[in-house]
Amino acid sequence: MRKLAPFILVAVLSACARPSDGPSAGAFYSTVDPNTKERVPVIRLADAPMTPVMPQALSYAPTDQGLSEMRSVSGYADTRLRRGDVIEVTILDTGEDGLFSSTQSKTLNLGRFTVDSAGTVTLPFVGRQRVLESSPEALQSRIVSGLKGSAVNPQAIVTVVEKPTNGFTVNGDVRAAGRFPLTARKERVLDAIALAGGASSAPSAATVTLIRGHKRATAPIERVMNDDSQNVYLLPDDQVYISKDAPTFTAFGAFKSVGEFEFEPGKLTLAQAFGRAGGLLDDRANASNVYVLRNQTVYKPYPGAGQAKMPSTYSVTSKPAIYRVDMKDVSNLALMQRFQVADGDMLYATNSGMVDFAKLFTIYQKSAPSAAAPLPGSN
C-alpha cells in the first residue's frame, strides 16, 4: 500500500490541477455562450456548412449610405482660372491670308502656359493677359481680339489642363500616395485610387474613407466598384484614405506555428489554413480533437425586404459555434478541402493526454530551489 501511495497522490493532484497550456478536449463540450447562457454546440465537420452562410446578393442596411451621402450631382464645375493653373491654347484661322498664309495648316498650338503669382499669362501674338478669376471662354474672346489684324478669321480654344489649387489627396494602403489635381474629366473615387497606383490589398479586403471638411463616409472598395452611386465625384481638398481590412484567422495550441494569419475572403480552405499554421506538432497534438471556434454569422431579412421600394437588405448578427475536426478520420481530410475559413475563426489543437500527464511528472521531478549566494562583503 505504501508503494501505491505516491501514484494515488499524483492521480489526485492531476485531477485537481493538471498542467496544460489550454483547454482539454472535454472542456469544449461544456462551453456556454456568455451572452445567452446557452450551451454552445460542438458540430462534427461532416455536419458543418462547407460554404459561408451568406445570401446570394447581400446588400447593406438602409441606414448605411456609404459614400453616397457625399454625392455631388455633376462634380466640380468651377472653371475660373487661378494662380498655378495650367492652360493650353490653340488658335485657328479659316482665312486664306493672314497669320497662317505661309503654312499648310490652319491650326497652331501655342503650347501650355501657367498662371503666375500675379494672375497673368504671357501669350504669343497677344502679349501679357491678366486671367485671374477669368473663365476660359473670356480669355478666348480676348485672344481673338488680340489677333485681329494678324489673322483674317481667328478663333481660339483655351483648355484648362491642370488646376493644382483644386486638388485632392490619396493616402493609406495605396502604391503611390500623393496630391492630385482635379481636371475637366471630373475625377471620382475610383479615379483617385487609380491615380495613386491602386490599393495594395484586394478590393474585398480594403476600405475607402472620403473626408470632406468635417464630414466623412466609409465603404468597402468592392461596394464602390459594384454600386455606381458610391463612386462619387470629388471636390477640391477632398481626402481619400484607403485602409487595409483583410480578414484573419488565429491558430493556437499544438500547431507548429501559432499566431494570426491574413487571407483573402472566400479563398482559404481549412486544409490550407492548417498548412499556413505549419500543421500539428507530432509530439504534442491530439489529432482526433482539433477545433474551429467561430462566431457564426446569421443574416436575417429586414421587414419588407425584397419589395420594389426596398431591395433585399439583411441584419447581421452572430452566434458562437464549435466545429470538431478528427484528422485521424480520412473523410475529415477530404472535408477540410471544402470547409471555408471565415474572418475571425480560431483554430485550436488540443494536447494529447499523455503530454499533460508528462508535464505533471516534470513538476515533481524538479529539485527544490537552493538559497542564493550571499553578496560579496555581506555579513
For residue range 95-117, what is the model confidence (pLDDT) as tens digits?
Answer: 565 555 555 557 888 899 999 98
In a domain? residue 44: yes
Question: Pairing mode, if any, of strands 178-181 and 167-172?
Answer: antiparallel
Can you give the residue range of the structural domain that contains 329? Answer: 20-49+247-357
Number of domains in the chain: 3
Residue-level pLDDT at 166:
81
Give the integer Cα–Cα distance in Å for 117 and 139.
18
Q: Are 158 and 169 in a shared domain?
A: no
CATH of the domain at 118: 3.30.1950.10
In a domain? residue 54: no
For residue range 169-182, what is the model confidence (pLDDT) as tens digits?
Answer: 999 999 999 999 88
Quick one: how far is CA 301 from the chain centroid? Answer: 26
**Is the CB of residue 240 less than 8 Å from the CB of residue 210?**
yes
In a domain? residue 115: yes
Q: Are 198 and 142 in a shared domain?
A: no
Kindly compute the dihedral angle of the four CA atoms of residues 358, 362, 363, 369, in this order, to the nearest 10 degrees: 180
Residue 147 has pLDDT above 50, yes or no: yes
Q: Is the pTM of this model over 0.95?
A: no
Tell me the pLDDT of the chain averaged across its residues.
80
Q: Are 70 and 170 in a shared domain?
A: yes
Quick one: how far is CA 345 from the chain centroid? Answer: 18
Q: Are 256 and 240 in a shared domain?
A: no
